[in-house]
Amino acid sequence: MKPFPKLHDLYIARVLLLTVLASWGVLLGLDVVLAVVSEISDVGKGDYTFAKAVVDVLLTVPRRAYTLFPTAAVIGTLMGLGQLAASSELTALRALGLSRRRLGLAVAIALSVLTALMVVNGETLSPWGMARADALKASAKSRDMIVAQYSGLWAREGNTFLNAQAGQQRDQGGQHWLELSDVRLYEFDDLGRLESIAQARTAEHRPGGWRLHNVKRTYFDARSVTQTEVMEEHWNSRLDDTALAASVTQPYALPSSDLRSGIEYRHRNDLDASRFEESYWGRWFYPLNVLALCLAAVPFAFGSLRSGGLGKRLFIGIVFALGFWLLQTQFVQLAGVYKFDYRIAYLVPPAVMMAVSFALFRRRSG
C-alpha cells in the first residue's frame, strides 16, 4: 500500500468531515432546543429563571455532543460517500486505482480525528459541564437541593457502615473537600455483632484523611455499654470522597478515573458494581464502536448509495445507528442480568458490524 495520505485521501477526508460536522450540528441543535423546551416546566421554581435554564442546557452540550457523535458519524459518512458516489467521483477514483481497502482507511483516518476529540471531551469537558449544570440547577431551585442529594447516603468500608443525613461540597481558599453532616458509623465484628456506634456532627475528607467533629461513641461489650466524647477524631479509613461522590452521581457523568475508583470500592466491599462497569467499559469501547459503525457503511458507497438521493442515505444512516444501538443495548443488558463480562457485551456488536461489512465487501467485489 502506498504511503498515506495522498491527495485523493485528503479529498475524501475533507468531504467526510464536512458532512459529519453538518449532521452533528443538526442533531445537536435539535437536541439542545428540545432540552431547553423540557426545562421550561421547571422555570419559576425558586430562582430558576429561563436564562438559567438556557445556561444549564448549554453546560450539558459537551455531554450531548459526546452521546450524539456516533449517530452523526455514520449518517455523515453515508451522506459524504453517497455524494461522491452520486457524482461519479468514486468511480473516477476507482479507475485511478483506489481500492476499497484504501477507501476504508481514508474514512477511518478522517473519523479518528473527531473520535479522539470526543474521547478527550468525555473525560474532561463533559463531566465538568454536567457537574456545573447540576450545581447551577440545584442551587437555583433550592438551597437544600445539593445537600439533599446526599440525604440517606450509605457506604460500607470493611465491617464499618456509614450513614450521613446530609452533605455538601466545600470550597474555601482554593481547597475543595466533601463535608458530611449528622454522620453515624456502625462497626461490627467478624461474627456480625455490633461493636460500636459513633455519632459525629460532621465528617470532612481532607488530604490527610477523614476528620470527625463532635464525636460521641458508644461501645457495646458482652456485659456493659460505655460512652466516650471527643471534639475531633481522625478516622482511619480507605473510604474516599470519590467513592462517596460516585455513590450519588450518575455513572455516565463521571470521568473514567472516578468510575474506576467506584468499581474498586464496590469490589473491595462485595457490593454491586455493574452500573459503574457498564459506563467504564462503554468509555473504552467508544472509539471502536464509532469506527466499526462507519466502516460497516462503506460498502454501500459502491452500490445502493450511488442511485439514491439524500433521503435514502439519511434513512440508511438512521437504520444503521438505531440497529447498532439496539444490538449493543441488548448485549449490555444481558451482561447485567447474567453477570458476564461487559467487555464481551461491548465487543460483540462492533464485531458483528465488521463481519457484515466484510461480507458486503466480498459480495460486491465478487
Same domain, 118 and 157: no
The CATH number for 202's domain is: 2.60.450
Last residue of a domain, one of 192, 223, 254: 254
Q: What is the extent of the structural domain holding 49?
A: 7-124+276-365
Residue carrying C-alpha cell 469490589 = 267
In degrees and rounded to multiples of 5, residue 97 shows phi and psi of: 110, 10
> Which of these ranges, 81-95, 218-232, 273-287, has the smallest mean pLDDT?
81-95
Asked if residues 258 and 276 have their Cβ atoms less than 8 Å apart, the reply is no
For the stretch 191-227, pLDDT in tens is 888 999 999 998 888 877 889 999 999 999 878 899 9
In a domain, 12, yes or no: yes
In a domain, 65, yes or no: yes
Same domain, 282 and 338: yes
Q: Is 185 helix (H, G, I), strand (E, B) or coil?
A: strand
Contacts 24+ apart (CB under 8 A), 64-67: 64/28, 64/31, 64/32, 64/35, 65/24, 65/28, 65/118, 65/121, 66/118, 66/121, 66/122, 66/126
Q: Is 338 helix (H, G, I), strand (E, B) or coil?
A: helix
Same domain, 239 and 300: no
Q: What is the pLDDT of residue 237?
A: 81
Last residue of a domain, one of 222, 254, 286: 254
Same domain, 180 and 227: yes
pLDDT averaged over the chain?
80
In a domain, 282, yes or no: yes
Same domain, 230 and 167: yes
Q: In what order do the strands lie in the sheet with 153-157?
A: 153-157, 160-172, 175-188, 194-206, 209-220, 225-235
Max CA-CA distance within the chain?
93
Contacts 24+ apart (CB under 8 A), 264-272: 265/239, 265/240, 268/238, 269/156, 269/157, 269/158, 271/156
C-alpha cell at 134: 447540576
Task: Give the whole-angstrom CA distance, residue 219 versus residue 214.
Answer: 16
What's the rounded mean pLDDT across residues 163-174?
A: 67
What is the domain count for the chain?
2
